[in-house]
Each structure stands twice: as C-alpha cells, then as structure tokens.
Amino acid sequence: MFRLLILLVAACLLASCGEPAPWRQESYVFGTRVEVLIAGMPEARARAAGNRVLQEFDRLHRTYHAWQPSELSALNEAIAAGRAQQVTPEFAGYLREAQAVAAAGDHLFDPGIGRLIALWGFHTDDIQARLPDVGAVQALLAQHPSIADLRIEGTRVGSVNKSVAIDFGGYLKGVALDRAAASLKQDGIADALINIGGNVMALGTRDARGTPWRVGIQHPRPQGVGGAPLASLELRDGEAIGTSGDYHRYFEVAGRRYCHLLDPRTGFPATQTQAVTLLIPPGGGAGMKSDALSKPIFIAGAGWRAMAAKLGVDAVLRVAADGTVSATPAMKARLKIEVPDLKLAE
C-alpha cells in the first residue's frame, strides 16, 4: 500500500522546548511496517498501551491471513468444496461490512477475488516478475467471483459460486486502525498516531501545546523529486488518511508495471492511476473507510471524481498514470504542497 511519512520534529528540538518526544514503537504486520506514537504519557504506560495495540494487530493478521492457515483460509477451502462454514461473530460481521462496502463502490473493490489475486502472484511475500496465463484469468472471470455471492446466515457462511475466495487485503488494515484507536482510548490515551503502512489515524495532538500531528504523502515516483514528499497535511482528532498506490506491491515485465490493485472487470491490474489518497473525517469506521474506499476510487481511473462522490468522500488527492496531480477542493484546502513548482490540476 501507499506509504505515508510521519513528519515529526526531532526529539532534541522537542526537548529544548520542554516537551518530550512522543513514545514510539514499530513492528511488521499485515506485510508492512506499522508504528504507534503516543504523546503525553509516561513510557511505561505508553509501552503497555502500545503493546496491546500491536498484539491486536498480530491477532487480526493471523486470523484473517489470505494464503496462510487461518480462519479466513479455512472459509475459502470450504467454499471451494461447496460447503458452508461456521465462523465467529466477528468474522461474520466483517464479511457483511465488506459486502456493503464492495456494493457501494460498484464492486471495483471486491474482496471475493482472492483466486484472481493468487493467479497474479500476489499471494506471497516474494512477488515474482511473471505474467499469469491469460486463459486462466479469462476462465476465472467467466465465473464472476464476488463477495456478493456469499450467503451469510447468522454465523454460517457459504457460496454457490465455488470460485469465490475472500482476501481482506485493502480492508483489514483500516479495520485494525479503528481497533487500535478504540484500544488506546480504553487505556486512557488521548494523544496518539497510528500508522499501518500508510493508513494513518490521529488521536488528539502530539504535545501539550496542541500541536497537530502532521503527515507527509510520499510521491509515487520519488526518484524524480529527490525523495521529497508530494504534500503534507495536519490531521485533526479522529481523522484518518489512507492511500492506494501502484508501487508498493508490483512487478515489471518488459518495462511495464503490474500492481496488485486488480480491476475485477478485466482481471488485470488497474493502469490509469499511480496513487490515490483519501482524508476521512472522524466517525465510526473512519479507519476502515480510509483503507477500503481508496480502492474503487483508484480503480475507477478517469471516473475517480464520480466514484468519490458516490462514496461520499470529499477530500481526495490523485496522481494519474501520466503524473498529473489533482485534488478535490476539500483536499486542496488542507494540503501543503512540498514539491517545488507543482501545480494541482483542476
């Protein structure tokens, strides 16, 4: 996924102003780097709260892993065998929510295409530069796998379409953000920043003076701009930001890039967009929305504005395949452009 850079003042500068640096802990979960920053708390209390967050991340990762043994992979095996599967109430709730999100975005984001993702070689941590057999892709598309095919009755889940395989990539990191925020609040933490591979949620501020958390949005082709962030913005309490990009999980063949963001209509990676960043206001499921809603907007290509409007997302930054950078008025009002002479397209 698209990575955001946490822009923090150096600890020595904070100390010189009488403010300790936020406590910070990193880990590697969901196939990406995660970090938790907690401000205004003694280290022991911050560490305990942060550890609980990372333990929950690890549980979600293991429980809903798409290609290693997990509750999710067990469901996929049952679907392939034509059997219904009993799942936990939590899992059933996530499946219902993912169904609703997929339907809202015209199924451009569809967690039911796990077999297609596997065909492209993205069900591994070691991605190979190898194109799938086109016939196999077309044969799978002809079966129209979709999360809409799931039949969820209480906690019993099945599908008459055996080609369906659930993959929560593009959804679960956002869920984890919401879970982390709830956990921190339960522990009495009011000021924190949670970053899961570029999906970020802010709680409160980063110091006693009320300094907002600031994040930088990485340029999708940083070698052309010296590695500088494309833009930055301040996050308000409860806001979440998330980006989908074509450069985190991808491979190249004959000079062409193939990313993990597949268009369910064609069976091939989306090609009209380099990156899309969303800013989601505070509210229920803000983290989940920052993750899941960026996918249909990314895949919609030239129709990204209409898709954003359909999904009720006001603040969007988009980098098109040709490098043109556009932003909605709501996003433009919040951005500080960091690349010299960069002009936002209307």
Distance (Å, rounded) from C-alpha 195 to C-alpha 36?
Answer: 6
CA-based radius of gyration for the chain: 20
Task: Tell me if 316 sits within 8 A of 304, measured CB to CB.
Answer: yes
Distance (Å, rounded) from C-alpha 346 to C-alpha 201?
Answer: 28
pLDDT digits (tens, 9 = 90+) for 227-249: 678 999 999 999 999 999 998 89
Distance (Å, rounded) from C-alpha 106 to C-alpha 111?
Answer: 12
Question: Residue 12 has what pLDDT?
Answer: 32
pLDDT above 70 covers what percent of the chain? 93
Which segments in the chain show pLDDT lower than 70? 1-19, 223-227, 346
Distance (Å, rounded) from C-alpha 36 to C-alpha 202?
Answer: 10
Question: Residue 284 has what pLDDT?
Answer: 93
C-alpha distance from residue 179 to each of 185, 191, 337, 345 (Å): 10, 15, 31, 36
Residue closest to 72 by CA, chosen among 150, 180, 154: 150
3-class secondary-structure state, position 216: strand
Amino acid at 311: L
3-class secondary-structure state, position 207: coil
289 contacts: CB under 8 Å, gap ≥ 6:
174, 240, 278, 280, 313
Residue closest to 298 by CA, chosen among 120, 108, 32: 108
Task: Tell me if 199 sits within 8 A of 213, measured CB to CB.
Answer: no
Task: Tell me if 166 sits within 8 A of 114, measured CB to CB.
Answer: yes
Domains, in order of start, for the chain: 4-56+171-337 (3.10.520.10), 71-159 (1.10.3980.10)
C-alpha distance from residue 57 to each of 64, 67, 69, 192, 270 (Å): 11, 17, 17, 16, 29
Task: Tell me if 183 sits within 8 A of 56, measured CB to CB.
Answer: yes
Burial of 291 (0-12, 13-18, 19+ CB in 10 A): buried
Question: Residue 6 has what pLDDT?
Answer: 42
Question: Residue 223 has what pLDDT?
Answer: 62
Burial of 42 (0-12, 13-18, 19+ CB in 10 A): exposed
Distance (Å, rounded) from C-alpha 257 to C-alpha 303?
Answer: 21
User: What backbone phi and psi angles, to 5 degrees, belong to 37?
Assistant: -115, 130
Question: Residue 339 has what pLDDT?
Answer: 87
